[in-house]
Amino acid sequence: MVVQKLIMEIQNNTVVSITYDLKIGNAEGALVEKVEASAPFVFLFGAGGLLPEFEENLSGLTAGKAFEFTIESDNAYGPVQDEAVIELPLNIFEVDGAVPDDLLVVGRYLTMQDHQGNPLRGKVEEVGIEKVKMDFNHPLAGADLYFKGGVENVREASEEEIAHGHVHGEGGHQH
């Protein structure tokens, strides 16, 4: 008797584990992120949490397959938006009447809130006497993204994972 192993392709409602290098622009670009097999990136394919073109490039692949692709900035995090760089009054950073010494460091990312209470991450660009210049663009805005990696595993998502919109268990969300 021959037992055939089902080879599962990446498609909607599959749990995917991948490794990759993410670089700016192309294979020679600056390394932004390295995800290794000891701690792969695990996600629910088709749940809407990732860049659409990222998922399009992985669709149909199986465990053991390599991938390499570039996503142009307009299809990634978009162009740098000048209006996302704003000056804020220094006093909004005060805690008990003073700005903490180590808070406003140029290059540091701070989590703030917009007028509706939504979280925003901004980078401190400049600290003046009365104002702080913050950049609320995504850190990868304006950059083409080059991915090179491999598919570690593909499995069917559980009904609970599909209902919750994320992976449970190892590499995923713990309830």
As a whole number, mean pLDDT of residues 143-169 equals 93
Please report, rounded to a whole number, the percentage of residues in the chain having pLDDT higher than 70. 94
Q: How many CA atoms lie within 13 A of 174 on its CB side?
A: 2
For 132, the 3-state DSSP assignment is strand
Q: Rounded CA gap, 141 and 121, in Å?
A: 13
Res. 7 pLDDT band, cuts 50 70 90: confident
With tokens 């008797």, the residue in question is: 1
Domain with CATH 2.40.10.330 in the chain: 82-135
Query: pTM of the prediction?
Result: 0.83
- CATH T-level assignment (fold) for domain 14-77+141-164: Chitinase A; domain 3 (3.10.50)
Cα angle 48-50-56, degrees, rounded to a multiple of 5: 90
For residue 19, how many C-alpha atoms fall within 13 Å in the half-sphere facing its CB?
A: 10
Task: Write phi, then psi, for 166 (nearest 5 degrees).
Answer: -155, 165
How far apart CA 158 and CA 2 sit, in angstroms, is 28
Q: What is the pLDDT of residue 173?
A: 55
Least confident of 17-26, 27-36, 119-128, 159-168: 159-168
Quick one: CA dihedral 45, 51, 56, 58, positive or negative?
negative
CATH topology (fold) of 82-135: Thrombin, subunit H (2.40.10)
Q: CATH 3.10.50.40 in the chain, residues?
A: 14-77+141-164
